[in-house]
Amino acid sequence: MKTDRELKDLWIKFFTKHGFKRIPGYSIIPENDPTVLFTTAGMHPLVPYLLGEPHPYGDKIFDVQRCIRTNDIDEVGDSSHLTLFEMLGNWTLGKCDKKEMIKLSFEFLTSPEYLNIPKERLAVTVFDGNETAPKDEEAFNAWKECGIDKVFYLPKENNWWALGGGVGPCGPDTEMFYDTGKPKCSENCSPACDCGKYLEIWNDVFMQYYVKEPGAKAEKLARPNIDTGMGLERTVCVLNGAESVYDSGCLKNVIDFIGSKANVKYKDSAQSIRSYRIITDHLRSSVFILGDARGVTPSNVGQGYILRRFIRRASNCARNIGLDPKYFTEISDIFVDEYGKDYSDIAEHREFIKEELIKEVEKFSKALDEGHKEFEKVIAGNEKHKEFAAKTGEKVENKLSGKAVFRLYDTFGFPFELTKELAEERGYTVDRAEFEEKFKEHQEKSRVASAGTFKGGLADGSKQSARLHTATHLLLAGLQHMFGKQIVQKGSNITPERLRFDFNLDHKMTLEELKQVEDFVNDAIARNLPVTSEIVTLEKAKAEGAHGTFTNKYGDEVKVYTIGDVSKEICGGPHAENTGELHHFKIVKEESSSSGIRRIKAILD
């Protein structure tokens, strides 16, 4: 029986032994990145280094990274889907020795000192080749040399990795699967099937190519890389032969706690199993988001909207099983006790997490009251329509439209099941098909908004984005020059067209103050100051006055960007080579972002 902690420790031990350096995990809230709401993979913050930036820790690195993915949120409740997971990753930068990486993967998976999986229980897939790249015979032969019999060639849809949107580094991969021993579903059964015979546990990506723009042909990458990723919870589930990811470790502890407080037992029905799991998953994700150093709270936009959805969905599931939401704070303590050991910001925000959970549960309770009133309005409208129809001889069904039911869900957080239950009490049915159609439309819009390419801090790797990134450093320096060093970055969002910068300030800036900041930045631009970088120890960076927000995320060595005599910041790049490239800086808007936080939007023209 393996625990999450044991697998993490084995990962750290193995890659340290093989000369890789451990890097600190990043915040779950991406920095400077407008394209995703959360850090979705271990490689996400590392893209600048995959594109050639030298990493402070060298060219062989590994980590344990907290991630959140919301694309499959509606699948949560089954045996394997989670919104939050920990990703075990390692990278070789500037080199792509497939044979070496496959040998390391094989050793970690099969060695008695590590995972001790019999090689007969492993199956792997490799790229079958197409017009972009040839069949990956190198990877195929490397696995055969390791003694793996079940090696499958699969097409691009299965064994080709690229950034979302298809622009950036890309290449073939090899995926490792655990053979559960279940019979083949057909003669052609392979890891590409969904029959459950093969469960994926690891993925080695060989970044050998690069796509410059949408629709362009992939070109060979000058500095190829290897990126690997192993999902912690799913791998532990496989190693333990567990029925689901909720059957071990901290997740099981929470399931057991809920069982001790709820009126409905865990396995009373398929619905109760799903409700227990959704509460467990969504509250864990909420703890990680609320506990993050970046300070996200429930709201109607961005990360705050997802957080609100997590808490309210958990509250509705609690209602389904007779669990008082007051126990959410005790559940949060279980998670903080476990994960605060690895993520100090979560431990530091224990009380804040509980306070925000309580506030949001209370708001949801009020929203439900408002939803009840709105439901009565819908019923009253239907009754009036029936009265009018009776006079004209029109036949009207006792059915609530899916559009009306979806509005109750989307605007008031009124769960479909609750609307259906109340409608039936009043002699009505609901148009489920229309509701699901509206729900799918909403789901697709959310998917588009939360997906997209990720470029490790910027919308893309273009020169214009790099220039705007440099402009944010000058902007912060200007704000600190005017208001003092207590001004810090609270968020940043950069595209090739504009920058958006959040910072702490207790008042709306005057037109004069905005003009002074603009002039400060443009003076630095006019002086054509050099933008230089160096890798130094964190202690030296601090001693030299380098500015760095959330320094608990940094390791022993950091990259410091200096802009003449104006700015010195800990940062990962990329940047302009000198300020003259920025031409002219213009603030187009200053507004409130949240309580005590102001937001500036600016462009370069």
3-state SS, 499-554, equals EEEEEECCCCCCHHHHHHHHHHHHHHHHCCCEEEEEEEEHHHHHHCCCECCCHHHC
Pairing of β 151-154 and β 60-68:
unpaired
Tens-digit pLDDT profile for residues 203-250: 999 999 988 777 788 889 889 999 999 999 999 998 998 989 999 889
Q: Are residues 405 and 439 in contact, defined by beta-carbon separation less than 8 angstroms?
A: no
Number of domains present in the structure of the chain: 3
Tens-digit pLDDT profile for residues 544-583: 888 875 445 556 778 889 999 999 988 876 789 999 999 9
Angle between helices 402-412 and 416-425 (to 10 degrees): 130
Is the domain of 264 the same as that of 232? no
Is the domain of 279 the same as that of 226? no
CA–CA gap between residue 349 and residue 286 (Å, rounded): 12
Q: Are residues 520 and 507 in contact, defined by beta-carbon separation less than 8 angstroms?
A: no
Provide the residue range defining the domain that includes 547. 463-604
Amino acid in the structure at residue 539: E
Measured from the Cβ of residue 581, the count of other Cβ atoms closer than 10 Å reads 17
* Residue range 27-52: mean pLDDT, rounded: 79
pLDDT confidence of residue 206: 96
With 90 as the cut, is the pLDDT of residue 147 above it? yes
User: Residue 448's pLDDT band (boundaries 50, 70, 90)?
Assistant: very low
pLDDT confidence of residue 76: 92
Question: Is 186 exposed, middle or buried (CB count within 10 Å of its CB: 0-12, 13-18, 19+)?
Answer: exposed
Q: What is the CATH number of the domain that holds 477?
A: 3.30.980.10
CA–CA gap between residue 325 and residue 590 (Å, rounded): 39
Is the domain of 242 the same as that of 253? no
Say how many Å lie between the first and final Cα of the chain, rounded. 60
Q: Is 416 part of a structural domain of the chain?
A: no
With 90 as the cut, is the pLDDT of residue 410 above it? no
User: Residue 106's pLDDT band (boundaries 50, 70, 90)?
Assistant: very high
* Residue range 139-154: mean pLDDT, rounded: 96
Q: Is 413 part of a structural domain of the chain?
A: no
Is the domain of 260 the same as that of 233? no
Q: Are residues 265 and 126 in contact, defined by beta-carbon separation less than 8 angstroms?
A: no
- Print burial letters for 427-438: b (CB count within 10 Å at least 16), e (below 16): ebebbeebbeeb
With 60 as the cut, is the pLDDT of residue 420 above it? yes
Is the domain of 196 the same as that of 295? no
User: Residue 34's pLDDT band (boundaries 50, 70, 90)?
Assistant: low
Could you say which of 246, 271, 299 is where a domain stops?
246
Could you say which of 201, 224, 246 is where a domain stops?
246
Give the predicted TM-score (pTM) of the model.
0.73
Is the domain of 46 the same as that of 157? yes
With 70 as the cut, is the pLDDT of residue 72 above it? yes
Of the listed ranges 339-348, 400-409, 505-514, the least confidently predicted one is 400-409
Backbone angles phi, psi at 329, to 5 degrees: -70, -35
The CA distances from residue 275 to 56, 250, 253, 380, in Å, are 44, 17, 16, 32
Tens-digit pLDDT profile for residues 346-400: 999 999 999 999 999 998 888 888 888 888 898 988 888 888 777 777 777 888 9
- Of the candidates 220, 223, 224, 219, the one whose C-alpha atom is nearest the C-alpha of residue 207 is 224
pLDDT confidence of residue 450: 42
Is the domain of 270 the same as that of 318? yes
With 50 as the cut, is the pLDDT of residue 184 above it? yes
Of the listed ranges 9-13, 417-421, 454-458, the least confidently predicted one is 454-458
Q: Is 487 part of a structural domain of the chain?
A: yes
Q: Is 419 part of a structural domain of the chain?
A: no
Q: Are residues 442 and 410 in contact, defined by beta-carbon separation less than 8 angstroms?
A: yes
CA trace torsion 548, 551, 556, 557 (10° rounding): -20
Of the listed ranges 30-39, 150-159, 312-321, 580-589, the least confidently predicted one is 30-39
- Of the candidates 558, 493, 566, the one whose C-alpha atom is nearest the C-alpha of residue 53 is 558
Is the domain of 67 the same as that of 30? yes
Q: Which residues contact 36 (CB under 8 A, 6 or more apart)?
A: 30, 44, 450, 451, 452, 454
- Of the candidates 412, 401, 410, the one whose C-alpha atom is nearest the C-alpha of residue 372 is 412
Question: Is 554 exposed, middle or buried (CB count within 10 Å of its CB: 0-12, 13-18, 19+)?
Answer: middle
pLDDT confidence of residue 360: 93
Is the domain of 389 the same as that of 334? yes
With 60 as the cut, is the pLDDT of residue 456 above it? no
3-state secondary structure of 584: coil
With 60 as the cut, is the pLDDT of residue 455 above it? no
Is the domain of 214 the same as that of 277? no
pLDDT confidence of residue 496: 81
CA–CA gap between residue 301 and residue 290 (Å, rounded): 15
* Residue range 44-65: mean pLDDT, rounded: 88
Amino acid in the structure at residue 506: D
pLDDT confidence of residue 47: 80
- Of the candidates 119, 124, 112, 116, the one whose C-alpha atom is nearest the C-alpha of residue 152 is 124
Could you say which of 246, 275, 290 is where a domain stops?
246
Count of residues making up the chain: 605
Is the domain of 36 the same as that of 107? yes
The CA distances from residue 248 to 4, 233, 241, 270, 408, in Å, are 9, 9, 10, 19, 37
pLDDT confidence of residue 574: 77
pLDDT confidence of residue 583: 92
CA–CA gap between residue 38 and residue 427 (Å, rounded): 44
Is the domain of 472 the same as that of 553? yes
CA–CA gap between residue 193 and residue 415 (Å, rounded): 34
CA–CA gap between residue 541 and residue 519 (Å, rounded): 28
Q: Is 54 part of a structural domain of the chain?
A: yes
